[in-house]
Amino acid sequence: MKLRIQGNSLRLRLTQKEVAQLRDRNRVESSIEFGPGQTLVYKLEGSFRDKVVTANFEGQTIHVMVPMQVMREWIESDQVSIEALSQASVQLLIEKDFHCLHKSDKQDPDAYPNPLANTLECE
């Protein structure tokens, strides 16, 4: 899962494998280690309790919760993203990770096929 933080926005991009894990286990997580005891963990999880998408930061963990119905609809459809505004006014974007159209090398084989690949010529 890719994490992008810019300004007051948080973006999570998931590969097909990660979406399948989210479907099967209702959660997916990743982390980055900056040094001993300095690990940032970020999690995406389906929730039966929450009615809206929420995000919080506790300790060294970013935790994004998505209502189960919203998550299931996203997983099982061609819907690309889930957008929300958190309770703390953080813009949240959760999306399926597509193949890049302009970089033919180092493509993630688990990324979703880009729906624009047949309509645009790549450099």
* Strand spans (E) along 19-110: 27-35, 38-47, 54-58, 61-67, 81-85, 91-96
Every domain of the chain and the residues it spans: 2-96
Burial class (CB in 10 A: 0-12, 13-18, 19+), 50: middle
Report whether pLDDT(123) > 80: no
Report whether pLDDT(47) > 50: yes
Inter-residue contact 85 to 91 (CB < 8 Å): yes
pLDDT band at 96; cut points 50, 70, 90: very high
pLDDT band at 83; cut points 50, 70, 90: very high
| Calpha distance 10→114 (Å, rounded) | 22
Please provide the average confidence, as pLDDT, over all residues in the chain: 87
| Calpha distance 110→123 (Å, rounded) | 22
DSSP 19: H
Fold (CATH) for 2-96: Gyrase A; domain 2 (3.30.1360)
Q: Within a 13 Å sphere around the CA of 33, how many CA atoms are in the beta-carbon half?
A: 3
| Calpha distance 51→35 (Å, rounded) | 36
pLDDT in tens, 32-41: 999 998 999 9
Enumerate the β-bridge partners of residue 67.
47
pLDDT score at 97: 86
